[in-house]
């Protein structure tokens, strides 16, 4: 499925961005385009490190190398444990995701998230397992004032494949610098599908998953 493309590179890019590597440095290291890196790390907090003119970035120290090695090892371990999702695993994974992040009130399937990968996973799951009317999907964007709403709208429309004419009025919040820096330049996307029957079907899966007996050792 499309949302799983270049997962390893995406994870490495996000880890490097968190360590304050520039987009160009990440692109060169992973041998991918700068535009791809920009998309993958949009929601990763970045604080540029001051540099003197002509001075190259220092080689990572032993602690940084050990940290990255452990991250890489755990990413490999995770991929080995999860493997490729078959249909039943994909169904259960989506139900678990909705149990944690979706709206429980009867009447509509509602899912909000600022992580592009999470939103892509949900949209792929929802379309795969439910016969939906695409024209009834609605998208709304929550974005701090001062950030580019047109860019954010184009980003989320492309990711969710929901057309721009089905995007509602955005919610523009006032950023509070006393709490934290803005971490999500593309904001938070909110997908809404008004259909009581579909919502009840989703909640049926959630209930079955959470009621499923788990046999633990001991």
For the chain, list the domains and their CATH numbers.
Answer: 2-82 (no CATH), 87-211 (3.30.1330)
* Neighbour-count burial of 98, counting CB atoms closer than 10 A to its CB (0-12 exposed, 13-18 middle, 19+ buried): buried
**What's the chain's average pLDDT?**
85
| Both tokens assigned to 41 | 């790390």
Contacts of 98 (CB under 8 A, 6+ apart): 111, 122, 202, 205, 206
Which DSSP string corresponds to 73-124? HHHHHHHHHH-S--HHHHHHHHHHHHHHHB--STTEEEEEES-HHHHHHHHH
Q: What digits encode the pLDDT tens for the residues 109-164?
A: 999 999 888 999 999 999 999 999 999 999 999 988 888 899 899 999 999 999 99
Q: In 3D, which of 149, 137, 147 has the Cα closest to residue 191?
A: 137
CA geometry: angle at 216 spanning 215 and 218, to 5°? 125
Q: What digits encode the pLDDT tens for the residues 1-30?
A: 344 456 777 888 888 888 888 888 888 888
pLDDT confidence of 182, banded at 50, 70, 90? very low
pTM strictly above 0.75: no
Q: Is the pLDDT of residue 61 over 90?
A: no
Terminal CA-CA length for the chain: 38
Three-state SS at 138: strand
Q: Is the pLDDT of residue 54 over 80?
A: no
């Amino acid at each position: 499925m499309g949302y799983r493309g270049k997962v390893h590179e995406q994870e490495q890019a996000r880890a490097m961005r968190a360590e304050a590597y520039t987009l160009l440095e990440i692109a060169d290291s992973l041998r991918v385009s700068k535009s791809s890196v920009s998309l993958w790390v949009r929601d990763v907090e970045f604080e540029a490190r001051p540099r003197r003119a002509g001075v190259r970035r220092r080689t990572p120290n032993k602690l940084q190398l050990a940290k990255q090695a452990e991250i890489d090892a755990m990413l490999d371990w995770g991929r080995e444990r999860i493997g490729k999702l078959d249909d039943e695993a994909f169904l259960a994974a989506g139900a678990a995701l909705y149990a944690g992040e979706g709206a429980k009130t009867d009447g509509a399937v509602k899912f909000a998230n600022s992580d592009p990968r999470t939103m892509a996973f949900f949209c792929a799951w929802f379309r795969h397992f439910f016969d939906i009317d695409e024209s009834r999907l609605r998208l709304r964007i929550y974005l701090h004032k001062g950030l580019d709403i047109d860019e954010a709208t184009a980003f989320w429309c492309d990711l969710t494949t929901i057309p721009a004419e089905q995007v509602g009025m955005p919610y523009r919040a006032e950023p509070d610098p006393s709490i934290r820096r803005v971490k999500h330049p593309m904001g938070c996307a909110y997908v809404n599908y008004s259909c009581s029957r579909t919502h009840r079907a989703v909640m049926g899966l959630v209930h079955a998953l959470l009621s499923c007996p788990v046999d633990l050792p001991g």
